[in-house]
A and B are shown apart, each in its own frame.
Chain A
Amino acid sequence: MVDAQQDVKKDRPVYRNIGLAQLIKYRLPWAGKVSILHRISGAALFLLLPFILYLFDQSLASEMSYQKFQAFTSNIFVKIICLGLIWSFLHHFCAGIRYLLLDLEIGVDKSEANRSAKFVLFLGLALTAIVGLKMFGLY
């Protein structure tokens, strides 16, 4: 038993005081990927808050500003930035609901939590694809 444990331990890299170089090699579990992307998407939304509010302002202020808003958001680069923000929102939203359910002790089980993490990551990307296809006029 002790030998078996030591064998397993040997293969595993030990990380102490993780540096940037080690981060690339570090393979996170699905829940870990969802978690770090939750943080990154949140930070992105925070940094682009003035841009989001500006778009909201343009869309609401007047008939003329609404037309300007439509012209502005039909630009390909603006569309790509918006799509990035939409993914950030959708991922943050889905992952956030997963956390709320975990708080209620729903799906805390290891295998279930792993499954829900994969599902949330996929759902964020799938919903982004649906919105993206609509934005680029594919349906």
Chain B
Amino acid sequence: MPIYQIGPKRLVVGAHYGLKEWIIQRVTAIVMVVFTIVLLIDYCITGSATYEGWAGLFSNQFMKLLTFLALFSLFYHAWIGVRDIWMDYIKPVSIRLTLQVLTVLYLVACAAYAVQILWKV
């Protein structure tokens, strides 16, 4: 990290600032779109909803990994989106930082729950 990136005079605006989040927001969105299409195709093929069919779909290793990727994308996507909401509306730094920390903890807990759900099947 260059020296001008550290301390109170660090660069907080300009070219490439926030680009990483911007790209991640879009990549994770595309992963979720792909997952949604796969679910839709499965629904169109199998038609009826039975437990065997539903559980069978997620017991497939490929589907399990795709679902995990989609859910992981969801949590990362939600982090960036909710972070933007806090940055837009919550001005006091102490409250904003608290909300951001709670958001991260909440999403990590959700991710653990998601893993538990997927690897039970």
Contact = CB atoms under 8 A, between A and B. Distances in A.
Q: Do A and B come from one complex?
A: yes
Interface of A: 39, 42-43, 45-46, 49-50, 53, 56-57, 59-61, 63, 66, 93, 96-97, 100, 103
A60 B54 contact: yes
A50 B113 contact: yes
B29 A60 contact: no
Contacts of A39: 81, 85
Interface in B56-94: 58, 78, 81-82, 85
B58 A50 contact: no
Nearest to B82: A46
B114 A53 contact: yes
Given A43-B81, A63-B51, 10 more contacts: A42-B81, A45-B78, A50-B110, A53-B113, A53-B117, A57-B117, A60-B55, A60-B117, A60-B120, A96-B29
18 contacts: A39-B81, A42-B81, A42-B82, A43-B82, A43-B85, A46-B78, A53-B110, A53-B114, A53-B117, A60-B55, A60-B58, A61-B117, A61-B121, A63-B51, A66-B51, A66-B54, A66-B55, A96-B29
A50 B110 CA distance: 7
A68 B36 CA distance: 25
Contacts of B107: 49
A49 B36 contact: no
B34 interface: no
Contacts of A56: 117
A60 B117 CA distance: 8
A116 to B, nearest CB: 17
B26 A103 contact: yes
A43 B77 CA distance: 12
